[in-house]
Structure 1
Amino acid sequence: MSWIVLILSGVLEAVWATALGKSAGFTKLWPSVVFVVAVLASMAGLAYAMREISTGTAYAVWVGIGAALTVLYAMVFGGDGFSIVKLLLILGLVGCVIGLKLVH
């Protein structure tokens, strides 16, 4: 169960990071609300997962999932340019996250 919660928390990290960017320094209400709700849920999930998963592994997986999804979202919807190099680097990041799960 901890791994499922950790993965969902990583997804929420991408949500709050994206919402933070769209909040324009907390001057836009709804992106700011999404940020607050998502960051609280993401941190709570990370804390829950750390009860059974070591801090280093949990944090690295959480950040890896959040970073990969944030970059993918920005490439697809946010105007960041797509490149094969970016895609390969994201796949490398995902591979490292999977590797951490396998050795845990």
Structure 2
Amino acid sequence: MSWVILILSGVLEAVWATALGKSEWFTKLWPTVTFFVALILSMAGLAWAMRDIPTGTAYAVWVGIGAVLTVAYAMLTGTEPVSLVKVLLMLGLIGCVVGLQLVGSAAPEA
């Protein structure tokens, strides 16, 4: 269950990062509200997941998911240009996140 919460928290990281950009320095109401709600839920989920997942692994997975989804959304909406190199780097991040999950779940309990 911790991994599910961590993944959802990573998705919420992408939501708050995107909302932060759209809030225009907190001058637009709904992007600002979205930012704060997603931020709180994302951080709470990360903290909850870190009860069972090592801190370094949890944080790297959380950031990786948030980064990939934020860039993917920006590319899909035309905010950021698409390039083969960016797509390959995003796939590399996804591979690292999956690898950390596999290594993290294989680690013995302390």
Length-normalised TM-score, structure 1: 0.99
Structure 1 runs (4+) greater than 4 angstroms displaced: none
The percentage of counterpart residues that share the same residue type is 73
Alpha-carbon distance in structure 1 between the residues aligned to 2:70 and 2:79: 12
Aligned to 1:94: 94
Alpha-carbon distance in structure 1 between the residues aligned to 2:78 and 2:16: 15
Aligned to 2:8: 8
Flag the structure with larger Rg. 2
Aligned amino acid, residue 27 of structure 2 = T
Aligned to 1:39: 39
Alpha-carbon distance in structure 1 between the residues aligned to 2:79 and 2:61: 26
Give the CA deviation at 1:79: 2.0
Give the CA deviation at 1:78: 4.2
Give the unaligned 5+ runs of structure 1: none
* Cα deviation 1:50-76 (Å, max 9, x = unaligned): 000000000000000000000000001
Aligned residue-pair number = 104
Cα RMSD, aligned residues only:
0.6
Length-normalised TM-score, structure 2: 0.93
Give the unaligned 5+ runs of structure 2: 105-110
Aligned to 2:18: 18
